[in-house]
Structure 1
Amino acid sequence: MSIRLLPHSQVSAVIEPAQRHNKISMDIHIDNHYQSKIYTTSSTVSGHVKVKATHDVQFDTLQILLLGTSRTRIDAINIPQATSHTFLKLIMPIPDSYYPESRRFEAGTTYTIPFHFVIPQHLTLNACSHHAPNDALKDHHLRLPPSLGDWDKDDFTPNMSRVTYCVRARVYQKDSDGKSEKAMETSHDIRVIPIVAEDAPLNITQQDKMYVMSKRKTLRKSILSPKLGKVTVSASQPAPAMISSDGHCITPTTAQLDLVFEPTSNESQPPRIAGVTSKVTAVTYYSAGGINQYPNLKDWGRSFGSDGRGAYSSSVPLPATPVQSDPWRQHLTAQGRRDSGYDSALHSDSEHSANGRHSPSSDRDSRKRGKKGAPYHYAAKVLVPIELPACKKQFVPTFYSCISSRVYVLWMTVTLSGVAGMNSTITVGVPLQVGVSPGEDSRVDSTGLPTFEAAMEDDSLEIDAYLQPRTMSVPDIEFRSELPGYELRGNRMAQRV
C-alpha cells in the first residue's frame, strides 16, 4: 500500500490531471456507458482511447490504467493532512502494433487504442501493507470499497473522505536527461458498487460505545408514585439489507425486539406497546494513516495515534410501517420456580396473556411476598420491518478499508403506554450491515466466482467434454513400445536396465 501524506496546499495538484501540452488531445470512450451507470464485481470496462495531435509530437509510451483511489483530509489545528491511497491499479498491456513505428504522433492523424478491464473481487496483497492485528481485518481491507462522494443523491459522505474509480490515459515523453516523464493525461470517472456478501454478526461488548444492544427503565404512574416495575428492551442484529447490483433497489429486512417487564407486585400490569419508530445513522470514518482496528468497535474517539482521524455521521428516518407484536406472556422467574407454592399456583397461567385472571391463592401468596417482587415476569416480542429509503438516499455497502470505512447503526425507539396516560420511551441501537447481492442475470456469485450456469454457457471451458462418459482401455502396442526407458519383449513390457 502506498499512502502519501501531503500538505493541504498540494492536494489540488494531486487531484487535477496534468495538462502540460496542448498539442495532444486525448478522449476516453467507454462502451455502453452512461452517466448513471453502476459497475460491480466482474463488470467489464472496455472501450478505446483516441489520440490526436495538432503538431507532430514525439512520445515515449502510452499507458491506459484502471485506478481506484481513496482520499482523506484531516483539518488539524497545526497542519491539515491530506492522504491519498491508490488501492487498485490495473495497467492495460498495449501491443506495439498500435503505436506508430517512429513513436511520433503525426499532425492530423487520429490514433485509436482499445482497452479492456474487469472489476476484480479482491485486491492484491500489496494494496494493504500496514499492520493489521488479525486476518479478518486484513481481509476487509483487501475488498474493493464502493465509490464515495460522487453520486447524484446524498450518500452520507463528508468532504473529508472520497473513493473514486476512473479509467486514465497517460502519454510519456523523455526529457533532456533521457528520463520518461508524464506529458499529458486524461481520465474518465466511473461508479463502482462491488458485490458484498453477508458477514457474520459483530461481537458487541460493553466497550463498544456506539451501540446500545439492551436498555432498562423503571416505570411509575407518576413522578412521586411507587415503582410499577422495570422494562428491559433488547435487540439482536438483523439480517443485512441487500442492495441490488444496479444500486436502485434495497431488499427490506426485519429487526426483532425482546421486551421483559418485571413487576414489583402482583397488581402491576405490563404497559401497552404503543409503537416503534426507527432511523438509520450512516457513520463514515476517515484517517490520515492506516486504520488498524474496526473503527465502529471499542471507542474510536479515544483511539488517537500519531495520525489524525475523524468520523462523520448522518441520519435518515425510516418510513413508518406496521409493527407486529406478540401479546405479553407470563413466565416464572427463578425465584418462582424454586418456591413450590408459587410454582403450583402459577404454572398453569405461565403461558397465558397478561389480561388473564390469576387464581386467588396466587394473589394471596404474591401479597405475602410483595416486598420481594412478583415471582414471575412478562415477555413480549416485537418485529420491526426495516425499509431503507433508496429513492431519497444513495446507500453504499458497509466496508472497512485502509483509510476510510462506512458502517450503519439502526436506532429503534419503543413507546410504552402505561396507566394514567403516562408514556415512556426506550431507545436501542444495533449494527445494520448493508450488502450487495448479484443481479439475476449476473454471471458471478457472491464470492465473485462464475456461477454454474455461466460456466456451462462458456464454450472456452469445454464443460461438455469433461462431463462425457470416459472409456478406459489398454493402449496399443505401438504406443507402449515408445515409452521411454521400456522395451517390448514378446507380449510383455520390460524396463531397460
Structure 2
Amino acid sequence: MGGKIDLLQQSRKRELQIDIDHHYASKVYTTGSPITGTATFTPRKDTPFETLRISLAGLARVRRDDLDYPKIATHWFLRTDMSDAELVYPGSKVFRARESYTIPFHFIVPDRLTTNACNHKVDVGYVRSHHLCLPPSMGTWSKDDMSVASARVEYGIQVDIVTPSSKKGQNNTISNKHIINVIPYAAEEPPLNIMPLNIQYNMQKDKKIRKSLISPVDGRLTAVASQPRAVNLDADGQSASESTVHINLEFKAKGPGVCPPKIGTVSATLQAQTWSRQSPSLNFPNMGLLRDAYTNYTTILSKVPVEGSWETEPEDKETGADSTSHSATVQVPFSLPMAKRLWIPTFHNCLISRTYRMEVALEVGNTTLRFNVPVQIAMESLDFPLEAEVDGWTPDDFGVMEHAWPGWTGRYSYGDYGPRALRAVGGDVLPGYSA
C-alpha cells in the first residue's frame, strides 16, 4: 500500500514544475541574492485544492541509525512564503485537467534569521546570535564539502498544493522542491578564547632539548602558536584568500656556549569537523569536552623547509642568570586546495556545526612540536552589498521577520522544531511575502 502511495505522489510531482531564472547546477546564492522564477502546475485530471504555498525554505536534518529504525531530527530554520500566489487561483478552487497554471515567485536570501529560529536554552547569549545566522548548504553540493551523510543543511524553493482528501479531517499534498546551494555572508570572528581544559586545541609546547637521549639537557624550548586570520571565501565559493600561522619560539640555553637547535621542516593537515546532535546545542561543540565530530583530513603542507633564524636576546646582567635566551618566529603560510573540494564557512546551527582546525608539526632539532590550531573560514566578499537595493527592496526588509504559522511534522521527525513561515513586522507589506 505504501509503495502505491509513493508512486502516486511521484506521478503527481511530475505535474508540478519549478523553474528558477538563470539557474545552473553549480550556481551559488549568497546574502542578498535574488531568486526569481515560476512554478507551473499542469494536472492530468481535475484537481480541487484548498491552498497553494510557494516558499523559500531552509532546514537542518540529523539522522541517527538506531537498532529498530532511524531517528531523524529536523529543524526548519527558514521558511518565507509568497503571498500573491492566490492572485492566480482559479475562482472555482479547481485546477482543470491539461491546463497550465503558472505562478511567478521572487525571494531574496536574508542576512539573518527570525528569533524564532532559535528559541531553546543556551549557556551564553553569543551562542544564540550564531544560531540566528544562516548556515551554508551542506551535503547538497556536486563537489565534496567534507560532510557526513547523516547531517545535512538544505535550501530550496518548495511548492505545496494542499488538496482535500476523501477521509474527513485529512488532506493530501502535491509537493515539489528545487534545491539551491547557499553560502551566506559569514563575518570574521575574533580569535577563540581557548581555556586550559579544552581538548580540541593545543597552542603551546614546552620541551627540554638534548642532543641525544643520554645527553645532558642543553636548554628548554617554548613554542606558542597563534590563531591565523580567517580564510575568506569569494562570493562563489570557488577561491579563497591565504592565511598564515605564526609560531613564536624561545630557547633558553643552559650556558653561553650552547647553540639553539636547528629549525627544520613543517607539515600541516587541515581537519574539517562536522558536529551534529539530535537536540539543540547549548554551547559551541568545539569549545567543550566533546570528541564526537566527524572529521575529514586534507594535507596542506608536507615537510616544507622553514625559513627562520634565531636571534640572541641580550643578557640580563642584573639578574646574574647563567642562561642565554634565543628567540625566533616561524611563519607557516597556507591556502585551501580548491580543485576537488568545496570549503564552506565555519558555522554553528542549533543542530549542526562546522569547525576547522589545523594540525601543525614543526621539526626543531631532533624533536617535533605538534599544535592543533583553530582556523576560521569566513565569507566577506559579496556580489550584493548589504547597503544596496534590488528592485527597490533593501535586505533589511527581508531580515526582520516573525513566526506566522505552527510547526510541521514529516513522515518521522525526532525533535521537530517547526518550520519558520516569515512575514514583515510593521511597515509596508513586502512584495510577494505574506503579511
Aligned match for 1:148, one of 133, 138, 149: 138
Aligned match for 2:384, one of 414, 438, 443: 443
CA distance in structure 2 between the partners assigned to 1:62 and 1:128 by the alignment: 27
Deviations 1:399-429 (A, max 9, x none): 0110000000012111123xxxxx3211111
CA distance in structure 2 between the partners assigned to 1:160 and 1:318 by the alignment: 27
Please state how far the C-alpha of 1:43 moved relative to its aligned partner: 0.6
Query: Is 1:73 equivalent to 2:53 in the alignment?
Result: no
Query: Is 1:244 equivalent to 2:234 in the alignment?
Result: yes
Deviations 1:46-74 (A, max 9, x none): 10011001121211121111111101123
Please state how far the C-alpha of 1:298 moved relative to its aligned partner: 2.2
Extract structure 1 runs of 4+ deviating beyond 6 A: 321-324, 457-461
Please state how far the C-alpha of 1:327 moved relative to its aligned partner: 1.9
Aligned AA (1:438): S
Please state how far the C-alpha of 1:392 moved relative to its aligned partner: 2.4
* Alpha-carbon contact 1:258-1:382 (below 8 Å) kept: yes
Aligned AA (2:353): S
Please state how far the C-alpha of 1:105 moved relative to its aligned partner: 1.1
CA distance in structure 2 between the partners assigned to 1:198 and 1:271 by the alignment: 36
CA distance in structure 1 between the partners assigned to 2:203 and 2:285 by the alignment: 18
Q: TM-score if structure 1 supplies the norm length?
A: 0.74
Aligned AA (1:224): I
Query: Is 1:174 equivalent to 2:154 in the alignment?
Result: no
Distance 1:114 1:289, change over 3 A: same
Aligned AA (2:318): R
Please state how far the C-alpha of 1:331 moved relative to its aligned partner: 1.9
* Alpha-carbon contact 2:13-2:176 (below 8 Å) kept: no
Query: Is 1:434 equivalent to 2:416 in the alignment?
Result: no
CA distance in structure 1 between the partners assigned to 2:297 and 2:271 by the alignment: 4
Distance 1:86 1:17, change over 3 A: farther
Aligned to 2:260, the other structure's residue is in SS state: coil
CA distance in structure 2 between the partners assigned to 1:77 and 1:57 by the alignment: 41
Higher alpha-carbon deviation: 240-249 or 21-30: 21-30
* Alpha-carbon contact 1:18-1:185 (below 8 Å) kept: no
* Alpha-carbon contact 1:28-1:48 (below 8 Å) kept: yes
Aligned AA (1:338): E
Computing the radius of gyration from Cα coordinates, the structure with the larger value is 1
Query: Is 1:314 equivalent to 2:296 in the alignment?
Result: yes
Query: Is 1:163 equivalent to 2:153 in the alignment?
Result: yes
Query: Is 1:222 equivalent to 2:222 in the alignment?
Result: no
CA distance in structure 2 between the partners assigned to 1:23 and 1:163 by the alignment: 23
Aligned residue pair count:
391
Q: Greater relative contact order (Cα 8 A, min sep 6): structure 1 or 2?
A: 2
What residue is the counterpart of 1:126 in the other structure? 116
Aligned to 1:269, the other structure's residue is in SS state: coil
What residue is the counterpart of 1:61 in the other structure? 51
What residue is the counterpart of 1:410 in the other structure? 358
Query: Is 1:207 equivalent to 2:197 in the alignment?
Result: yes
Distance 1:458 1:63, change over 3 A: closer
Identity in percent: 33
Matches within 5 A, 1:346-365: none
Please state how far the C-alpha of 1:387 moved relative to its aligned partner: 0.5
Distance 1:195 1:216, change over 3 A: same
Aligned match for 1:294, one of 277, 284, 288: 284
Aligned match for 2:330, one of 372, 382, 393: 382
Please state how far the C-alpha of 1:437 moved relative to its aligned partner: 2.0
CA distance in structure 2 between the partners assigned to 1:59 and 1:180 by the alignment: 13
Query: Is 1:268 equivalent to 2:258 in the alignment?
Result: yes
Distance 1:177 1:381, change over 3 A: same
Aligned AA (2:309): P
What residue is the counterpart of 1:474 in the other structure? none
Aligned AA (1:429): N
Higher alpha-carbon deviation: 214-223 or 168-177: 168-177
* Alpha-carbon contact 1:24-1:54 (below 8 Å) kept: no
Distance 1:89 1:217, change over 3 A: same
Aligned AA (1:399): F
CA distance in structure 1 between the partners assigned to 2:376 and 2:307 by the alignment: 24
CA distance in structure 1 between the partners assigned to 2:12 and 2:213 by the alignment: 78
Aligned AA (2:259): Q
Distance 1:79 1:215, change over 3 A: farther
Is there any run of 5+ residues in structure 2 with no aligned partner, and where? 395-435
CA distance in structure 1 between the partners assigned to 2:101 and 2:303 by the alignment: 58
CA distance in structure 1 between the partners assigned to 2:219 and 2:7 by the alignment: 66
Aligned to 1:300, the other structure's residue is in SS state: coil
* Alpha-carbon contact 1:323-1:382 (below 8 Å) kept: no
More helix by share: 1
Q: TM-score if structure 2 supplies the norm length?
A: 0.84
Aligned AA (2:127): L
Distance 1:106 1:321, change over 3 A: farther
Distance 1:160 1:60, change over 3 A: same
Distance 1:205 1:248, change over 3 A: same
Aligned match for 1:40, one of 25, 30, 40: 30
Give the root-mean-square deviation of aligned CA atoms. Answer: 2.6
CA distance in structure 1 between the partners assigned to 2:184 and 2:12 by the alignment: 37
Aligned to 1:87, the other structure's residue is in SS state: strand
Aligned to 1:70, the other structure's residue is in SS state: strand
